[in-house]
A and B are shown apart, each in its own frame.
Chain A
């Protein structure tokens, strides 16, 4: 009972299967798999600049 890890074709087939699995997962979870969903970076602060100079907001 083994996996044919010495055969490059096994790895190619596995890669294709993983991509297919990813497609299936994205089909079921269009907005990302809940447990491994990336955190939004919307909370990061950034400095607004115009022509590389910071702009002070009123």
Chain B
């Protein structure tokens, strides 16, 4: 760009478009990153931008967009404009009738920009092509060149191409395309130092490919033959069996490309591995082993940071207290909640901060380790190329239920949390199949269900851990089965339509990029915290208010206990009974025990009085009244008013159930200890019968496996599906199914004589 005008397209302007005056330093240089799937586009983006990027979506669509900033390097380029790199969805063609192709078309035409970015054509287009697969990638290059925008072609994976014996002549390729060509490897960083400059100096191509599809294909073949010594690596494209028979152009093309290897096709290491990994039986075995390992690592390793976060917020984990100094341990003995209670004067705001805000933040952060670890491992698997094989295998399993293989990653992610799982459905190209996946994703057993499973299976199978483990696995299986059957039913009723064949490229196996995995993990975790964190915090505050008000007078028992404690502390009761002191056995009321220590006995009584007062206050709060009002609805499922309060308050978030039960039954919300679990298990109904019978436990377990008890998930469903009606359908379907199933279980067990 010079003062004389634009030297790129000859328009006489600044280079930013005809007639546009641009501040050369302040205005960023906007470059659209375009390419086929699996060309290393995201790796390239991460390598160039690192963490300097933000994730949003294109307005009016659910297509995710990432905008990164490439800062100019070195003194010579200090005056250069920073590059804003817009990562477009990976597409096989700009002309397909798919949402991601439409987004690419609109962005290149200047009609659409990521949220927060000015609308207008990008200053340049960078087409990322796979150097090992140039013939097919040139089709996209041809379509991009015909847009007549300043273009540069990044031939990625050049190192893998060289290893495969492919020699690309960059000068000839540049001459044939009429635009800049940069050979690079996003994985190793080779050649990337020149790419930003090439983006800035990109020019409108001086050659125009033919306009028709057939013309572009023959043009691509010709360019490929001129620039590449031979057609080295054959493409490996997995195409749905029915694709070609349904007349799908991509399927037909893919088959054509698959068989286009020259002079016989020799199996590579990838092909040999694929003979096992994509085998109908052996492949499923490998898949089961990989997924079991992944889930084991996620749930085993994430336990440590989760305990650590828990200890920060509630001061429960002992191993953290072991290394911190005594004064800090004393100060933070109760975690952040204890610290708030220690630092602030007694009052409502202190209670709100400790009971609502700190608890809400803790409830959000505690899931981050699992989610981050899950995404880290998924990203590593994706980078190796295995995830594409897993999706291919799952396609066989999912297809009868109307779900594509693409649904596999969202459903897998949903085992950590449904929120990132639903957001991951953006990768599913077909809207109908994406909606189906969104609707059934919350059936997968997420982390928030685990505390409920632990509580109920412990109550059901005390001292029988093997049976408890079987019940636990059964919950996972029931959730997955319910999801698949629901997809089948909804897909054949409300969301009827033709299945789109899955076209999936199986990339070459390669070592994963740690950098890409870390950036992806960071990105996903931030998105989770922004979206879910604020929602969970808001819900926690609302629940705190509903569970705190109205204030009620303490019950008679509490008054008596406090009076007794005061008498013991003053020595009046001890004087009259020198060898004994009053104490309270939980659930048995007042009693007499050997005299221990006057102060500690009084404190025990006061603690007991506080717990009873808290439980009574919770039961008579707005939330408690709501539970009592709704009790008749849940009575056929075997739930008394206490369980109903637990179910109703955990409508916003499942994990609230256990702490709510702990508060109602014991008056303390610390539900981790064995003693508290025993107390919950020993809870009595108003008529003196136990709350948790075997039939009630099974009913509760089935209810929590199937019920839609997560407000943030509903909100994300409404946003991602583009309408509240889908969220309402999800709520009605899941809750209805859960209610009817729990009803059948409770009544069935009752008829069978199980109580």
Contacts and interface: CB of A to CB of B under 8 A. Distances in A.
Interface of B is mostly: helix
B712 A4 contact: no
Contacts of A16: 352, 541
A13 B352 contact: yes
Interface string A15-42: 0110011011001111100000000000
A1 B724 contact: no
B80 interface: no
A30 to B, nearest CB: 7
A48 to B, nearest CB: 24
A28 B538 contact: no
A33 to B, nearest CB: 10
A31 B727 CA distance: 14
Nearest to A7: B348
B535 A4 contact: no
Contact of A27 (B347, B349, B535): B535
Contacts of B534: 23
Contacts of A28: 711, 714-715, 718, 724, 727
B553 interface: yes
Given A20-B541, A24-B538, A30-B719, A3 B711 contact: no
A4 B352 CA distance: 14
B613 to A, nearest CB: 14
B542 A10 contact: no
Contact of A24 (B352, B539, B553, B724): B539
B304 interface: no
Contact of A1 (B351, B537, B552): B552
A9 B348 contact: yes
Contacts of A21: 538, 542
B344 to A, nearest CB: 11
Interface string B512-539: 0000000000000000000000110111
A47 interface: no
Q: How large is the interface on A (under 10, 10 to 19, 20 to 34, 35 or more residues)?
A: 20 to 34
Nearest to A4: B551
Interface of A is mostly: helix
Contacts, number: 63
B623 to A, nearest CB: 12
A29 B349 CA distance: 29
B509 interface: no
B545 interface: yes
A10 B594 CA distance: 43
Interface string B453-493: 00000000000000000000000000000000000000000
A10 B552 contact: no
Contacts of B229: none
Given A9-B347, A10-B348, A3 B550 contact: yes
A12 interface: yes
Nearest to A10: B348
Contacts of A14: 545
A23 B534 CA distance: 9
Contacts of A4: 348, 551
15 contacts: A3-B549, A3-B551, A7-B347, A12-B348, A12-B349, A20-B538, A20-B539, A20-B542, A24-B535, A27-B535, A27-B711, A27-B712, A28-B711, A28-B727, A31-B724
Given A1-B553, A17-B542, A21-B542, 10 more contacts: A1-B551, A1-B552, A3-B549, A14-B545, A20-B537, A20-B541, A24-B539, A27-B711, A27-B715, A28-B718
